[in-house]
Structure 1
């Protein structure tokens, strides 16, 4: 039924909230009536470029209004959008294009060189440039838009809940990127969950700084902003200073931040004016940092979450009523989502017992695109196997323990790297930390910590090991502590422990 097409959300808001501000990109602003009309113009331009329903279309660009308009227009015409990670090497982008079967590319002017190489070396048949420069047989979006008559209307393509809306490629932290399928039904379930769990209203102004090729940018709450009739505010970068400036100028009420951006905000010489901020969404932040944020922003709801691309963002958020009493928990499952903890025989375990986190429900992706082996490995009896270790308490709240791949096996004991990281992060001189297992002739593996210190800190590795001895069992204390200035990360800001293992292996 046509009602399943997400683009119809804009039709409704253009009628109900025609003059309310919908989208902000620097000085450029759109009301809902203007946004809906501009999506029609873009949809007509894309049809004129030869794009059509069901076609897989790559989108290569930064967080701009044009990028958002293109995603919305692709939905309107019934094409399948594939946001491309602009930080990947062109060879990796080429892999994604060919693995997905992308036949057309929309790209920002900044990426004209990459587009030219991709046109020459992949199965792309056409490309459309956002800016003035063109490459190969690429066409200019501006010229196509100029050719559309005033008031042009493009019918919203009929879509069922099970139809594919987009493919989002994972960051490839353990292997090559995998294309996660998001259906129209996944979007609907996520948007309803965002409205309920974040209590979104038309008065909200949501900052989107995470890249729009990532699920955090698109869906936390991302496109749900338009479902709420609220305002989406874009930033082209995800630097702490830029985010602080835009959040203050635009009176932002909510945003999602990667851990290192949150650290950056705390360390700014001039604290940003965040009096309008209502909630802050994040994951993987140490309790000490969380408490420091609460001290500085006591009026802000701090929302811990458990999520991933395969879950169309989150499976649970920590509710405001339990911010302190459940400190460290990730919340209870969203409506329509089930979370269980299972043992190695795939049997449910009692409350408080650790095991693998498995999820099912309307938000869960139906699978990976053209990857039967990965689907067999991660799906069982309708459940998605996350590969994460956690526990659920007696009240139904999820607690994260570690990535299964990051458990350190030392002398017959399983050590959670996240537990060591939590203890080290409590030290006042530690800004960030990541722990991995490194080979040991006696114990098979022992913990090694990579630590970024706060400015001016003089603490030594042995000082930090002593700090751990006061909190941890002896076998959990890192045998090695290395002070570093940076940590390898993926595009969502998550530390790549695979990268740390590769650094160790090369030594």
Structure 2
């Protein structure tokens, strides 16, 4: 498949649609001509600041126009971007930086303290401050931009389909985040699929509310917006009221929403003005909720999907023609994507029968960065093993059956139970621990820890949460900690997590720290970032 640098689309749009609006960030607006020129200036500035082609560069910031321009500038230079999850604990961010081999870091003012810790603790050597808070040894983006001559141009680095565009770190079923490789070939395949499946045109104005460190922010449709010559509109918050206001003011035609944000929109009074909206993309919503959304927004195409970071976002979208007849299905595979359902012996199963979902195609990541063991575990004969259970009906539509058992999905974030277990197990009072996801009305699932204490232990449930807060992002800290005397096991001694997930909730008490608003649960400032594809 022929592949080029994604930023070449900006050159093309700057010629064909110079005055059309390309990017909106609050009061800041870029036409395609202005965006292309700004990407040139930033690429030259970052180059002068020490960022080189082939270098891995972490980006630590919220959804802003500067963030988008920097990602594009890094691609134009031929550097490899690594969007960093700002909700992670600095210790977790430091692990990502060291595991990836990141040597450059761009950061916003909000994360200057984290940046200072990362510079001191890791091998980062080139640092650029996007704002006014400059840590030791960092250059200032504004000064680097001021040093660029008028009309500066930077040639797009030549890229082939196997060249690495970026790494996205995702928490899976292991205790440490894994770096998913996205190649330029992956992006080319995804952008083509997004334009075709969402029927994107230059008239579209797409709202991006999912964070740009998530695949759903970057690729659903994300950068494909620029391929279509459409307009990307950013929202700085995940609040339903803000999204509704921006959608009305900016005449939004399409957007991705996490389930909790969708529920928030439905609860707004008065109802939001979504008259220009033509599609709404979301996942993990019950058919009854989907029907209610359709009743309220009969003119909107409701798009369900199955996707993962490893698949460069979704691999299927439910089409408008089958919204009702295939209610609950996730759609048929994208062009260039093959989906198969297999049994435990990797044999294809008949239509309608459940089994593991495996995928191959141009959108599928070639693997995890510097993790041969994970690649061996998840690849077989050219197929990627999702670990999820599904079925394909006689018409070729994919239906989701069950999720990977040890992965907790909380408000769009993937949380590895093994990571939490590893932290709790290091407490000197803990003998054994098992962590599972339990239902939550707001976040879908939240972590719950079942803990066996050592003889003579004095730690409390709240003390164990405090121990977790010292090492984990707040959304990973168990909302519930229950002290138990034993854990259910099978004949081989393995803990039966399904039994723990299916157990009735214990009444809150001294052994089960489950308060109305526990310190470990997401608050307004820590709400799990909206995402569709994990």
TM-score normalised by length of structure 1: 0.84
Which residue pairs with 1:372 in the alignment? 372
SS at match of 1:4: coil
CA 440–382 in structure 1, closer or farther in 2 if over 3 Å, else same: same
Which residue pairs with 1:480 in the alignment? 504
CA 482–281 in structure 1, closer or farther in 2 if over 3 Å, else same: farther
Distance 1:244 1:170 in 2: 29
> Does structure 1 conserve the Cα–Cα contact (< 8 Å) formed by 2:368 and 2:374?
yes
Distance 2:255 2:499 in 1: 34
Deviation at residue 493 of structure 1 after TM alignment: 5.4
Distance 2:304 2:238 in 1: 20
Distance 1:196 1:220 in 2: 12
Higher RCO structure, 1 or 2 (CA under 8 Å, sep 6+): 2
Q: How does 1:1-400 map to 2 (within 5 A)?
A: 4-172=4-172, 174-400=174-400
Distance 2:219 2:47 in 1: 26
SS at match of 1:91: helix
Unaligned runs of 5+ in 1: 408-423, 450-477, 497-507
Distance 1:3 1:156 in 2: 13
CA 482–318 in structure 1, closer or farther in 2 if over 3 Å, else same: farther
Equivalenced residue count is 448
Deviation at residue 404 of structure 1 after TM alignment: 3.6
Deviation at residue 372 of structure 1 after TM alignment: 0.4
> Does structure 1 conserve the Cα–Cα contact (< 8 Å) formed by 2:210 and 2:216?
yes
Unaligned runs of 5+ in 2: 408-438, 451-486, 508-513
Distance 2:206 2:120 in 1: 39
Q: Runs of 4 or more off by more than 2 Å in structure 1?
A: 171-175, 430-449, 481-496
**Which stretch has the larger CA shift, 82-91 or 237-246?**
237-246
Deviation at residue 288 of structure 1 after TM alignment: 1.3
Deviation at residue 267 of structure 1 after TM alignment: 1.3
SS at match of 1:321: helix
Instruction: Give CA deviations for 1:211-242 in whole Å, capped at 9, x if unaligned.
Output: 00000000000000000000000011111111
Distance 2:210 2:383 in 1: 28
> Does structure 2 conserve the Cα–Cα contact (< 8 Å) formed by 1:448 and 1:481?
no
SS at match of 1:285: coil
SS at match of 1:357: strand
SS at match of 1:306: strand
CA 359–495 in structure 1, closer or farther in 2 if over 3 Å, else same: closer
Deviation at residue 109 of structure 1 after TM alignment: 1.2
Report the RMSD for the aligned CA atoms in angstroms. Answer: 2.6
> Does structure 1 conserve the Cα–Cα contact (< 8 Å) formed by 2:217 and 2:531?
no
> Does structure 2 conserve the Cα–Cα contact (< 8 Å) formed by 1:202 and 1:228?
yes
CA 245–149 in structure 1, closer or farther in 2 if over 3 Å, else same: same
Distance 1:275 1:363 in 2: 33
